[in-house]
């Protein structure tokens, strides 16, 4: 949550900062702001409530010159979304400007302390306290900017990625991180530096990136090698990583929204995800993570999956596959609960963190806890070089490309595919799945991208069906077995994008409560593709029909029985039941998308949400 971006060098900073903010807007869009250092020790600050485009409009007629600047797009934690609470925040003497992603947990004590020293505050944010503290240290102890930032951060508890500029020293930016991401892009011969919450805003200028680690503070000064120190004043050698991102993936490419593009991208993304891993001709799955940590993985006594939101739903599918094929028990935990409830982690446990962003604060904390307790930490992450990826002992990238729409779509299918490959490979290595069964799945998985295309070809029908859901106030989503987590995911998509209250349930649970909600106004979406519980779910559908519920069903292409009962059906191609979620989730993503568009809502940036949840 919150995105920060910065530039120092020979180019005009403003266009780089604004473009960068647009790329980071998925992290929050409550307000945006920019601080630019121009010549003559001048600092111009512009802020607006709401989106980056509001900031652009309000800054259009103003002085936007300067080769140094920092900028911010906010997801409010402390203080309502307003121009006053927008970053950058400025020190009382007007010298320093600071942008921050994270939470200063002891801000209230620090604020009282600073008020006692005569400081006054304009905003209700925790961030303003930090910039005043840095000024206080500069005034009191005569420290330079880097020294004052280090001293201030030693007094801070909480999470931060910050960038600070000083208009009296318009030749440097000081940045620091703890528990919130920060990456620095290095220009040729150190003639310029870029900084951002992730690589997306800066990758078009440089591929040379340094990911700051927790407790590191860096000085960015033109013409000088980047200097990194820890808060204990130890020197750190910057580790430069080559990062490459296909820039096309950062644009909408003709689609009206990123979400729609990302839904349609899934056949290609899944091909990327399985490339070099699923060798269909040789009937093999090759995962370097398994090769490198063979013993620990094959002898795992239990897997514990920690994740949040959509990634947690993928984890529920992974559990069923690992238990079915590898016969190893799996627990799936909400990371936010796991980290605070003294979980039992035993030698032999392997903890799998699933995360698109690789920055989700709770998932990262749960993972770190597991690491402290000696578990092997296995990451299933999309964003290369992210915090969870770096905290992993080993793992598998989903490789589905940047996901910009706030609602996760291609990340989910990527996670499910990686879990499928992992579970199958594990079962195969352990000899707990027969060679014939293994080969059958390998072949089927290689067909998934083509089958996904077939599902997407029915988008016009899906759109028509979605129209009927537009005026619903509530919806139920039902599934069984592998389709139960798909039902949860469909309900989550609908509520987060179209603001319709939706509940996902295992269909048999319906009789234990939710069926009381069913009447002629209640849409009930059944994920009823062919699998061993098909007959059972058919009875559940009959039960809803008997109570006049409006049934929409996702079915397998040759289905007759459900089609005869349901108000509307969407088909997926026949596939093996275990891998059906990779197909059955697509119509549910499309339904949520179309309903939101019909309602005129902001699909890519739904209210109150941010893509990368870096606060707990
Ligand atoms: C829902 C959604 C969220 C995320 C959750 C975890 O569409 O996007 O529920 O799945 O915030 O995020 P990651 O996967 O980045 O850890």
Give the domain-ending residue among 455, 474, 497: 455
Same domain, 480 and 376: no
Q: Whose CA is nearest to atom 5 of ligand 1?
A: 309
Is the beta carbon of 613 within 6 A of some atom in ligand 1?
yes
Residue 1 has pLDDT above 80, yes or no: no
- The per-residue pLDDT for 202 is 94
Please, which pLDDT band fits residue 55 given cuts at 50, 70 and 90? very high
212-225: burial string, b at 16+ Cβ within 10 Å, e else: bebbbbbbbbbeee
Same domain, 565 and 582: yes
Same domain, 449 and 478: no
- The per-residue pLDDT for 79 is 80
- The per-residue pLDDT for 609 is 78
- The per-residue pLDDT for 427 is 97
Is the beta carbon of 408 within 6 A of some atom in ligand 1?
yes
Specify whether the CB–CB gap between 226 and 184 falls below 8 A. Answer: yes
Tell me the three-class secondary structure of 120-145, residue by residue. Answer: CCCCCCHHHHHHHHHHHHHHHHCCCH
Is the beta carbon of 360 within 6 A of some atom in ligand 1?
yes
pLDDT digits over 322-375, tens only?
A: 999 999 999 999 999 998 888 999 889 999 999 999 999 999 999 999 999 999
Candidate from 27, 305, 311, 603 with most ligand 1 atoms within 8 A of CB, to mutate:
311
Q: What is the span of the domain harbouring residue 464?
A: 458-616
Same domain, 297 and 177: no
Is the beta carbon of 310 within 6 A of some atom in ligand 1?
yes
Determine the average pLDDT of the residues in 193-207: 94
Is the beta carbon of 314 within 6 A of some atom in ligand 1?
no
Distance 28 CA to ligand 1 centre (A): 14
Please, which pLDDT band fits residue 605 given cuts at 50, 70 and 90? confident
Q: Whose CA is nearest to atom 16 of ligand 1?
A: 355
Q: What is the CATH number of the domain that holds 442?
A: 3.40.50.10490
For residue 406, give the ligand 1 atom closest to its CA. Answer: 8
Same domain, 206 and 290: no
Q: How many CA atoms lie within 13 A of 24 on its CB side?
A: 34
396-416: burial string, b at 16+ Cβ within 10 Å, e else: bbbbbbbbbbbbbbbbbbbbb
Is the beta carbon of 392 within 6 A of some atom in ligand 1?
no
Smallest CA-to-CA distance from 40 within 72, 63, 59, 60 is with 63
Q: In the structure encoding, which two tokens stand for residue 124, read together? A: 């209700």
Smallest CA-to-CA distance from 265 within 410, 403, 384 is with 410
Residue 285 has pLDDT above 90, yes or no: yes
* Longest distance between any two alpha carbons in the chain, whole Å: 80
Same domain, 227 and 256: no
Please, which pLDDT band fits residue 535 given cuts at 50, 70 and 90? confident
Same domain, 36 and 167: yes
Same domain, 74 and 148: yes
Specify whether the CB–CB gap between 348 and 319 falls below 8 A. Answer: no
Instruction: Give the burial class of 522: count Cβ atoms within 10 A of its Cβ; 0-12 exposed, 13-18 middle, 19 or more buried.
Output: buried
Q: What is the CATH number of the domain that holds 191?
A: 3.60.20.10
Distance 437 CA to ligand 1 centre (A): 33
Distance from C-alpha of 121 to C-alpha of 100, rounded to nearest angstrom: 16
Residue 253 has pLDDT above 80, yes or no: no
Is the beta carbon of 363 within 6 A of some atom in ligand 1?
yes
Average pLDDT, the chain: 94
Is 2 catalytic? The answer is yes
- Domains in the chain: how many in total? 3
- The per-residue pLDDT for 334 is 97
- pTM passes above 0.75: yes
Of the residues 2, 269, 308, 377, only one is catalytic, namely 2
Is the beta carbon of 357 within 6 A of some atom in ligand 1?
yes
Distance from C-alpha of 473 to C-alpha of 466, rounded to nearest angstrom: 13
Same domain, 280 and 239: no
- Token pair 């909480």 is found at 158
Q: Whose CA is nearest to atom 10 of ligand 1?
A: 310
The partner residues of 100 in beta bridges, in order of sequence, read: 162
Is the beta carbon of 311 within 6 A of some atom in ligand 1?
yes
Phi-psi region of 90 (alpha: psi -120 to 50; beta: other; left: phi over 0): beta
Give the domain-ending residue among 194, 225, 245: 245
* Helix, strand, coil % in the chain, rounded to nearest 5: 40, 25, 35
Is the beta carbon of 336 within 6 A of some atom in ligand 1?
no
Is 372 strand, coil or helix? helix
Candidate from 356, 366, 593 with most ligand 1 atoms within 8 A of CB, to mutate:
356
pLDDT digits over 547-571, tens only?
A: 999 999 999 998 999 999 999 999 9
- The per-residue pLDDT for 142 is 87
Residue 248 has pLDDT above 80, yes or no: no
Residue 436 has pLDDT above 90, yes or no: yes
Same domain, 312 and 197: no
Residue 173 has pLDDT above 80, yes or no: yes
Is the beta carbon of 614 within 6 A of some atom in ligand 1?
no
Same domain, 154 and 276: no
Smallest CA-to-CA distance from 34 within 23, 48, 24 is with 48
- The per-residue pLDDT for 254 is 81
- The per-residue pLDDT for 167 is 95
Whether the link from the prior residue into 384 is cis, omega within 30° of 0, is no
Determine the average pLDDT of the residues in 1-30: 92
- Token pair 């519980």 is found at 533
Distance from C-alpha of 376 to C-alpha of 289, rounded to nearest angstrom: 12
Give the number of residues written for the chain: 616
Same domain, 178 and 36: yes
Distance 611 CA to ligand 1 centre (A): 7
Angle of helix 266-274 versus helix 410-430 axis, rounded to 10: 30
pLDDT digits over 595-604, tens only?
A: 999 999 999 8
Determine the average pLDDT of the residues in 520-544: 90
Contacts 24+ apart (CB under 8 A), 145-153: 145/96, 145/169, 145/172, 145/174, 146/174, 146/217, 146/219, 146/229, 149/174, 149/176, 149/217, 150/176, 150/217, 150/229, 150/231, 150/233, 153/178, 153/217, 153/231
Distance 598 CA to ligand 1 centre (A): 24
Candidate from 1, 305, 306, 310 with most ligand 1 atoms within 8 A of CB, to mutate:
310
For residue 313, give the ligand 1 atom closest to its CA. Answer: 10
Distance from C-alpha of 414 to C-alpha of 398, rounded to nearest angstrom: 5
Q: In the structure encoding, which two tokens stand for residue 417, read together? A: 């595919």
The partner residues of 501 in beta bridges, in order of sequence, read: 474
Specify whether the CB–CB gap between 77 and 93 falls below 8 A. Answer: no
How far, in Å, are 523, 538, 551 from residue 520 at the CA level? 8, 19, 10
Is 545 catalytic? The answer is no
Element (H, E) at 269: helix 266-274
Give the domain-ending residue among 397, 430, 455: 455
Is the beta carbon of 308 within 6 A of some atom in ligand 1?
yes
Of the residues 51, 172, 261, 611, only one is catalytic, namely 611
- The per-residue pLDDT for 554 is 97
């Amino acid at each position: 949550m919150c995105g920060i971006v910065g530039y120092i060098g020979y180019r005009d900073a403003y266009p780089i900062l604004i473009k960068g903010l647009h790329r980071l807007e998925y992290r929050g869009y409550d307000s945006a702001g920019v601080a630019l250092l121009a010549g003559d020790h001048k600092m111009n600050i512009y802020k607006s409530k709401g989106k980056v485009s509001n900031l652009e409009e309000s800054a259009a007629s103003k002085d936007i010159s300067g080769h140094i600047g920092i900028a911010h797009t906010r997801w409010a934690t402390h203080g309502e979304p307003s121009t006053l609470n927008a970053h950058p925040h400025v020190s009382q003497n007007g010298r320093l400007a600071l942008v921050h992603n994270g939470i200063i947990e002891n801000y209230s004590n620090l604020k009282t302390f600073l008020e006692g020293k005569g400081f006054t505050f304009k905003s209700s944010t925790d961030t303003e306290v930090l910039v005043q503290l840095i000024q206080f240290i500069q005034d009191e102890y005569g420290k330079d900017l880097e020294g004052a930032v280090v001293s201030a951060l030693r007094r801070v508890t909480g999470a931060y990625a910050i960038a600070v500029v000083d208009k009296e020293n318009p030749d440097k930016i000081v940045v620091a991180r703890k528990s919130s991401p920060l990456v620095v892009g290095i220009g040729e011969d150190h003639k310029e530096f870029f900084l951002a919450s992730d690589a997306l805003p800066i990758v078009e200028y440089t591929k040379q990136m340094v990911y700051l680690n927790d407790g590191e503070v860096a000085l960015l000064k033109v013409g000088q090698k980047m200097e990194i120190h820890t808060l204990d004043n130890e020197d750190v050698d910057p580790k430069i990583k080559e990062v490459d991102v296909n820039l096309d993936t950062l644009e909408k490419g003709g689609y009206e929204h990123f979400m729609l593009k990302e839904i349609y991208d899934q056949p290609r993304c899944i091909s990327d995800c399985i490339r070099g891993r699923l060798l269909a001709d040789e009937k093999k799955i090759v995962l370097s993570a398994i090769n490198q940590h063979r013993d620990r993985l094959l002898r795992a006594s239990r897997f514990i999956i920690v994740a949040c939101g959509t990634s947690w739903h993928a984890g529920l599918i992974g559990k069923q596959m690992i238990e079915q094929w590898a016969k190893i028990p799996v627990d799936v935990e909400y990371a936010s609960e796991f980290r605070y409830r003294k979980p039992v982690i035993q030698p032999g446990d392997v903890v799998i963190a699933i995360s698109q962003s690789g920055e989700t604060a709770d998932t990262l904390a749960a993972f770190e806890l597991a690491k402290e307790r000696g578990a092997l930490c296995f990451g299933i992450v999309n964003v290369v070089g992210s915090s969870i990826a770096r905290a992993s002992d080993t793992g598998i990238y989903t490789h589905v490309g940047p996901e910009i729409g706030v609602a996760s779509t291609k990340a989910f299918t990527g996670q499910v595919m990686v879990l499928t490959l992992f579970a199958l490979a594990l079962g195969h290595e352990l000899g707990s799945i027969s060679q014939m069964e293994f080969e059958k799945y390998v072949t089927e998985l290689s067909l998934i991208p083509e089958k996904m295309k077939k599902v997407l070809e029915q988008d016009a029908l899906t759109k028509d069906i979605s129209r009927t859901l537009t005026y619903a106030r509530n919806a139920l989503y039902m599934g069984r077995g592998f389709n139960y987590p798909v039902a949860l995911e469909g309900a989550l998509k609908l509520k987060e994008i179209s603001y319709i209250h939706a509940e996902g349930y295992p269909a048999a649970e319906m009789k234990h409560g939710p069926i009381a909600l069913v009447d002629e106004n209640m849409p009930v979406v059944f994920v009823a593709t062919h699998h061993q519980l098909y007959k059972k779910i058919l009875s559940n559908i009959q039960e809803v029909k008997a109570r006049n519920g409006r049934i929409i069903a996702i079915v397998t292409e040759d289905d007759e029985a459900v089609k005869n009962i349901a108000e509307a059906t969407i088909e997926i191609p026949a596939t093996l039941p275990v891998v059906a979620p990779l197909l059955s989730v697509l119509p549910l993503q499309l339904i949520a998308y179309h309903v939101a568009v019909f309602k005129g809502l902001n699909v890519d940036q739904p209210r109150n949400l941010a893509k990368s949840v870096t606060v707990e």
